């Protein structure tokens, strides 16, 4: 029995050495070394990229007043906040100047080729300067359209929950709806959940700033009133009716748009089919005339 116990003890020690100490001194395999090198290189590139971006931001923050006025900075900053983009307004203005300079260089090359091409290319300089701001505006419009289309379903759930009981938190309602949310509304609800850590009123005020749509503003005002202890279920019901009417109007407009699009496609197909039939009968007539000659 003593010998068996000694053998078991020695086996346990060897197992612990193999499990705990051997992996420390074991040389890494070629595949593991390759993955480690790739990870280290990717991390170094990311750190260099982040450092370069921070230096660029520091320069723009220091000398940004030469690029744009305070009014323009506030205006562009509001647009960036509505898109929840981590960028400085000066970065947008620098992009405008960069694109305009590249277009101006292209216009000079076009001038050397032909004066008419050069004068035509001057228009590209203006378009290149306006494009970054135009892209921001289009993104905001697309975001607001997407949220306006999906918000009624979220508000219906909010109204149903609050009409049943007053002992409910907006956080719980958002968490219940978030798995079913899609697109921009899902992102905004996620940001709202993060902001609720600082208070529901703060989260509602930030939502109004990011998405200043009529129904979103009214929703936030109603929820802020409830936070002060007022039972405004009647106002929530009126807003629900407005949102339902807005949803029906949106669906009717989309249906009319699809009908018009289908009508245009049908007209194009009829024209193509008519041309095909005319061409077919023309060739048949020509072949028949050749037979009688």
In this predicted model, what pLDDT tens digit does every residue of 113-159 receive, in sequence order?
A: 777 777 777 778 888 888 888 888 888 888 888 888 888 888 888 88
Going by C-alpha positions, the residue among 198, 223, 194 that lies closest to residue 208 is: 223
- 201: nearest Cα among 165, 227, 172, 233: 227
- Find tokens 């000694």 and name the residue: 6
198/284 same-domain check: no
**Per residue in 197-245, pLDDT tens?**
888 888 888 888 888 888 888 888 888 888 877 777 788 888 888 887 7
Nearest to 220 by CA among 206, 199, 238, 233: 206
Whether 217 and 259 map to the same domain: the answer is no
Whether 206 and 186 share a structural domain = yes
Residues 209 and 183 in one domain: yes
Q: What are phi and psi of 223, to 5 degrees?
A: -70, -35
Name the residue range of residue 152's domain. Answer: 143-245
User: In this structure, is residue 185 part of a structural domain?
Assistant: yes
Q: How confident is the model at residue 6 (pLDDT cuts 50, 70, 90)?
A: low
Angle at 86 between CA 83 and CA 91, to 5 degrees: 100
This model's pTM is above 0.85: no
Please tell me the total count of domains within the chain. Answer: 2
């Amino acid at each position: 029995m003593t010998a068996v116990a000694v053998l078991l003890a020695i086996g346990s020690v060897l197992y612990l050495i193999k499990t705990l100490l051997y992996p420390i001194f074991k040389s890494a395999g070629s595949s593991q070394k390759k993955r480690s090198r790739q990870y280290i290189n990717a991390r170094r590139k990311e750190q260099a990229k982040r450092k370069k971006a921070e230096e660029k931001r520091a320069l723009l923050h220091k000398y940004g007043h030469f690029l744009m006025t305070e009014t323009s900075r506030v205006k562009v900053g509001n647009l960036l906040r509505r898109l929840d983009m981590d960028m400085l307004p000066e970065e947008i203005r620098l992009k405008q100047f960069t694109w305009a300079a590249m277009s101006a260089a292209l216009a000079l090359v076009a001038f050397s080729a032909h004066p008419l091409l050069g004068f035509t290319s001057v228009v590209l300089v203006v378009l290149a300067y306006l494009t970054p701001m135009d892209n921001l505006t289009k993104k905001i419009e697309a975001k607001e359209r997407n949220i306006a289309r999906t918000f009624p379903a979220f508000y219906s759930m909010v109204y149903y929950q609050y009409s049943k009981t007053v002992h409910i938190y907006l956080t719980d309602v958002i968490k219940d709806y978030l798995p079913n949310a899609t697109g921009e509304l899902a992102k905004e609800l996620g940001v709202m959940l993060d902001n609720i850590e600082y208070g529901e009123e703060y989260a509602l005020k930030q939502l109004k700033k990011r998405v200043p749509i009529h129904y979103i503003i009214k929703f936030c005002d109603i929820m802020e009133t409830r936070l002060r202890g007022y039972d405004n279920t009647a106002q929530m019901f009126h807003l629900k009716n407005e949102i339902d009417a807005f949803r029906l109007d949106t669906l009717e407009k989309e249906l009319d748009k699809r009908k018009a699009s289908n009508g245009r496609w049908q007209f194009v197909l009829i024209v193509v089919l008519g041309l095909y039939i005319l061409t077919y009968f023309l060739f048949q007539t020509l072949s028949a005339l050749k037979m009688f000659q």
